[in-house]
């Protein structure tokens, strides 16, 4: 592709994934100092002084700021579709607080994930998740903010209620009946562990996609790193590499997501495995993005 990828996407990374061993401020400064990035995804910062400094760095950066509330739920093991109403409310309250914190950091959206999928109670859990999502969308609307649900696996690692893609599209349709500020975040690294490919996910979820992630996963049970661990491209047994990213770009373009006037955020969610070097893994991912984009036909 002759045109720059930055014409069509705001390229970002997930700060707590790219730099899991660094102080929050160091991670944010590293990303903000790198002009490869147009966007950054941050999450909860519990330290008041550090939070103020983080806000100042972001204000200087001219980065698109996105807020990931997934750790806000995963850390304390909160479930947005808990059958117990008191437990569901704990998750809803955490997401309401995440919207407030996202607004403080200059983000106009939050992303979250569904709670666990249980085959015996999935219908009731679906209704509970719909209740939570409608409530947080209503709150976000007052602040002119958006809400995004990330599509995860349902029986491999996170075992979340939403996806796979057809269920994610159905859920998004149900929420959109009442709230136009809702969308889906789809992640290439999750496609292999939902037993889907780029064509199936992107075409199925097309009307509702508002955000993209890319990355890798080991999808063969028994192999090192099996599950949702977002290993580097080129990791032994990994399902995604340059050719899969080229296919992803083709599908994204075919479904109308190359929008130079309102470019979508496309972040990489890639994490060092064990003692791998953070900076090298970030550089690895940039190389794969650049190569895949170069191979994309004009």
Q: How many CA atoms are closer than 13 Å to the CA of 48, on its beta-carbon side?
A: 0
CATH class of this structure's domain 5-295: alpha beta
* 280: Cα separation from own chain's centroid: 22
Torsion of CA 258, 212, 82, 95, to 10 degrees: -90
Per-residue confidence (pLDDT) for residue 105, from 0 to 100 = 98
CA distance 222 to 96: 39
Per-residue confidence (pLDDT) for residue 16, from 0 to 100 = 97
Per-residue confidence (pLDDT) for residue 158, from 0 to 100 = 87
Q: What is the pTM assigned to this prediction? A: 0.95
Mean pLDDT over each residue of the chain, to the nearest integer: 96
Per-residue confidence (pLDDT) for residue 267, from 0 to 100 = 98
Q: What is the pLDDT along the chain (298 residues), one digit of tens a residue?
A: 899 999 999 999 999 999 999 999 999 999 999 999 999 999 999 999 999 999 999 999 999 999 999 999 999 999 999 999 999 999 999 999 999 999 999 999 999 999 998 888 999 999 999 999 999 999 999 999 999 999 999 888 888 999 899 999 999 999 999 999 999 999 999 999 999 999 999 999 999 999 999 999 999 999 999 989 999 999 999 999 999 999 999 999 999 999 999 999 999 999 999 999 999 999 999 999 999 999 999 9
Specify the long-range contacts of residues 225-229, CB closer than 8 Å, at least 24 apart.
225/273, 226/156, 227/156, 227/157, 227/193, 228/152, 228/153, 228/156, 228/157, 228/158, 228/189, 228/190, 228/193, 229/157, 229/271, 229/273
Per-residue confidence (pLDDT) for residue 173, from 0 to 100 = 98
CA distance 154 to 231: 19
Q: Which two tokens stand for residue 109?
A: 């959206």
Instruction: Say how many C-beta atoms besides its own lie within 10 A of residue 273's C-beta.
Output: 16
């Amino acid at each position: 592709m002759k045109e720059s990828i930055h014409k069509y996407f705001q390229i970002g990374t997930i700060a707590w994934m790219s730099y899991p061993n660094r102080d929050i401020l160091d991670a944010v400064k590293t990303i903000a100092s790198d002009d490869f990035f147009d966007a950054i995804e941050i999450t909860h910062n519990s330290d008041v002084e550090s939070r103020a400094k983080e806000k100042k760095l972001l204000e200087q950066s001219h980065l698109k700021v996105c807020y990931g509330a997934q750790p806000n739920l995963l850390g304390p093991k909160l479930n947005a579709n808990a059958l117990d109403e008191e437990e569901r409310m704990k998750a809803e309250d955490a997401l309401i607080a995440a919207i407030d914190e996202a607004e403080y950091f200059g983000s106009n959206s939050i992303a979250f994930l569904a709670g666990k999928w249980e085959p015996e109670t999935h219908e009731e859990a679906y209704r509970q998740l719909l209740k939570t999502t409608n409530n947080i969308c209503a709150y976000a609307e007052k602040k002119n903010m958006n809400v995004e649900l990330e599509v995860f696996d349902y029986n491999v690692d996170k075992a979340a209620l939403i996806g796979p893609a057809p269920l994610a599209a159905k859920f998004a349709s149900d929420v959109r009946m009442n709230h136009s500020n809702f969308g889906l975040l789809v992640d290439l690294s999750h496609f292999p562990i939902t037993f889907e490919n780029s064509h199936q996910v992107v075409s199925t979820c097309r009307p509702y996609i508002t955000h993209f992630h890319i990355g890798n996963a080991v999808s063969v049970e028994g192999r090192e790193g099996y599950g949702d661990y977002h290993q580097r491209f080129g990791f032994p047994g990994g399902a995604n590499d340059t050719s899969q990213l080229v296919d992803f770009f083709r599908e994204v373009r075919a479904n109308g997501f190359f929008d130079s006037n309102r470019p979508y955020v496309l972040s990489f969610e890639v994490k060092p495995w064990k003692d791998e070097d953070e900076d090298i893994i970030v550089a690895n991912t940039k190389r794969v993005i650049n190569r895949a984009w170069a191979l994309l036909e004009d």
